Every structure is written in structure tokens, then in C-alpha cells.
Structure 1
């Protein structure tokens, strides 16, 4: 598998005290996943504290996705019954990233809270059948939190593509927090709270706090 270009860009700048080598972690997970599920064609790891996703993907599957984008969904039909789970699953696969027929999300828990989400993507519909126990044991994941076929559309890829911009915005927010803390003599935690409060008053979400940061820095 290849590291997504945006993931490589983000990893060049990403620093986290909890993981020394994020790309190394991705490669270790890749090795375990491919040994357990040979049909695995992509994987994403989301660092939940920072809400950043990094992705490895089989280059052949990525090419198929690009060429099939225009055709996807043309023949979709609604299932006959709202609770026809197999029908919904089949329809979701038709709309999915080309080459992905099944997925599993495995959270990793430390100290009673989830710190990572590991999303694995396979090219066959039953690739993870009877293999989740092995993945959980290998990856140190939380078995009760495992969810299958929740991301057939490969949304984690889109999050990974957005990671560099998220990092740029976070740096901007960090600079603004430091400026507020220095100007009014409060801790950075208090300054961060003030910035988020200003974002709320401006009618933007916490994720859009960079907008307020730009105003402050200007």
C-alpha cells in the first residue's frame, strides 16, 4: 500500500506526544492487517484527540476508484423494504469506493477512552468474517466496539485528504491562543476557552475557530 500524498504531507508536520512514529504505526498495522486479511486494500488510522486521519491505500484500487467515479450510482435502486438490511448493504456497496466491498472499524482504548480508530477496507464482501478476533488481538483493539461495513463509501479517505488543511488551521489557532494568553495574562487553556467562546458568539463551530484566529491575528 502507498501512503496517501496528503497523509505524507500531514505526517511531515504532525507532532503528537502519544505516538513517536505515526507512519511506523501505520506500517505495523498494515503488516498485521494484510497477514490476517489478505484482501485488505486500504486502511486509515484516526488520532481521535486531534481528529486527524492518515491513510494507506492500494494504488490499483485508488486508480479504479478514479476511473469509476462517474459511473458510480447510475444503477442504484432503493431496496423494497426499509428494514431490508441485505438490500441496504448491497446498495451501499454499489455506491462505495471502487474495489471496497467490506470494512471494519476497530477502536483502540487506553485508560478507559478511545484514542485511535483503525478502519480497514477489503476487496471482498466477507473478508472480515471470522477474522475480527485475530485483528483485535493483533492490533490491541476493543472487540466490543468493532463495527463492520459502516464506511463502504471510504469517508476516512476524504478526512485524510483534509488533514493538511486541518493542521494548518490548528497551527493558526495555536498562534492566536498564544497571542491572547500573552496579551491578557491568562493561561493557554483559558485563552483557548476564550477563543472558542468568541467562535460561538460569532456563530461558527469550534472546528471553524481558525476563522476567529485569523481576525485576531490580523
Structure 2
């Protein structure tokens, strides 16, 4: 599997040292997953505290499955072709790229009674995870009672992974603004963070927008 470009960008440029072993974690999970589920074609790991998602995809496997499914659908529909505008073609291309995902399983990882990670696995066949979830739970250290199947056939974690670099940029902007407010007002960073959130709420803007204004005024 290949690391999503946005996941590579987030890992290389933005992730703090405390979580810079995420790629190692992804590769370890990949090894366990593909051994237990040969039809596994993608996986995502979400760091719940940071609300960041990182994704690996076997593009060739999903492409083959998508081509197969498209051929079957075309044969059943009699090969009808519909006119699409540029946006329509883009949407269809995105749908086809992961049409090969036929089953999913979401596995939370719990530490000290609190979920810290969510592992999402994606397979190209409908029965890929049948009778294998217990083994995956044991191998990945996940919480079996929290396992959910076929909840993300639309591959929503991909979209979240694509947003990771922007999320980290916004968080960096907020962190810098909080530091400036704390220094200027002689308060703790926790108090400064509350002040920034309150200011954003009063102004009816996002916390990121408020942080940008604070930086411009205080830097």
C-alpha cells in the first residue's frame, strides 16, 4: 500500500515529535491486516485526541476492482453512457477509484478506559472480514465490543486524511496566537486559549480566523 500524499505531507512537515511514529504504526497495522485479510486494499488510522487521520491505499488493487465492477455494471445496464459535465466526471472518477471497496471494519483502540485510536480497514470483497474480526482485534490490540462493520463503504476517512495538512496548519496558527495572547495578557496558555475561543464566538468567526487577527495585532 502507498501512503496518501496528504498523509506524507502531514507526517513530514507538521506532526509533532510525540506522534512522529505514526508511519511505523501504519506499516505495522498494514502487515497484520494483509496477512489476516488478503483482500485488504486500504487502511486508515485516526488519532482521536488530535482529530487527525492518516491513510494507506493499494491503488492498483482498488483500480482493478473498480474496473471489474464498472464492467459488470455496464453490461447489466446495456452499456448506456450519460453526458457529464466536468464536475460530474470528477465525481465519477472519485467514485470509481474506490468502487472496489466492498466491506469495511472499524476498530477502536482503548487505553486506560479511553479510546485513543480508531483503525479502519477496507477490503475488495464482501466477505473479507468474515470470521476474522476476532483475530484482528487480538493482533491490533483493539476493543472487540466497539468493532463496527461496513460503516464506511464511502471511504470517508480518505477525505479526513486529505484534510490533515490543513488541519495541522490551522492548529499551528491557533497555537501561535494563544502563545501571543498569553504573553501579552500575562496569563496561562490555557486561559489564553479560552479567551481566544470566547473572542471568536463573540465575533461570530472561526477560532482560526480569530487566531489570524490576533497574530496580526500582537505579532
**Structure-1-length-normalised TM-score:** 0.82
**Is the contact made by 1:104 and 1:147 (CA closer than 8 Å) also made in structure 2?**
yes
Q: Which is helix-richer, 1 or 2?
A: 2
Q: Which residue of 1 aligns with 2:177?
A: 176
**Is the contact made by 2:65 and 2:99 (CA closer than 8 Å) also made in structure 1?**
yes
Q: Which residue of 2 aligns with 1:80?
A: none
Change (3 A) 1:210 1:64: farther
CA distance in 2, matches of 1:62, 1:215: 44
CA distance in 2, matches of 1:168, 1:161: 13
Q: Which residue of 1 aligns with 2:126?
A: 125
Q: Which residue of 1 aligns with 2:81?
A: none
Q: Which residue of 2 aligns with 1:106?
A: 107
Residue in structure 2 matching 1:214, options 209, 212, 215: 212
CA distance in 1, matches of 2:161, 2:57: 11
CA RMSD of aligned residues (A): 2.6
**Is the contact made by 2:42 and 2:57 (CA closer than 8 Å) also made in structure 1?**
yes
Q: Secondary structure at the match of 1:170?
A: helix
Q: Which residue of 2 aligns with 1:6?
A: 6
* Deviation (angstroms), 1:15: 1.4
- TM alignment of 1:65-214, pairs within 5 A: 97-204=98-205, 208-214=206-212
CA distance in 2, matches of 1:65, 1:214: 45
Q: Which residue of 1 aligns with 2:21?
A: 21
CA distance in 2, matches of 1:116, 1:56: 16
* Deviation (angstroms), 1:203: 2.7
Deviates most, 96-105 or 112-121: 96-105
* Deviation (angstroms), 1:172: 0.3
Deviation readout 1:177-213 (Å, 9 max, x if unpaired): 0001001011111111111122222334xxx411111
CA distance in 2, matches of 1:56, 1:41: 8
Structure 1 unaligned segments of length 5 or more: list them.
76-93
CA distance in 1, matches of 2:41, 2:204: 41
Q: Secondary structure at the match of 1:162?
A: helix
CA distance in 1, matches of 2:5, 2:64: 17
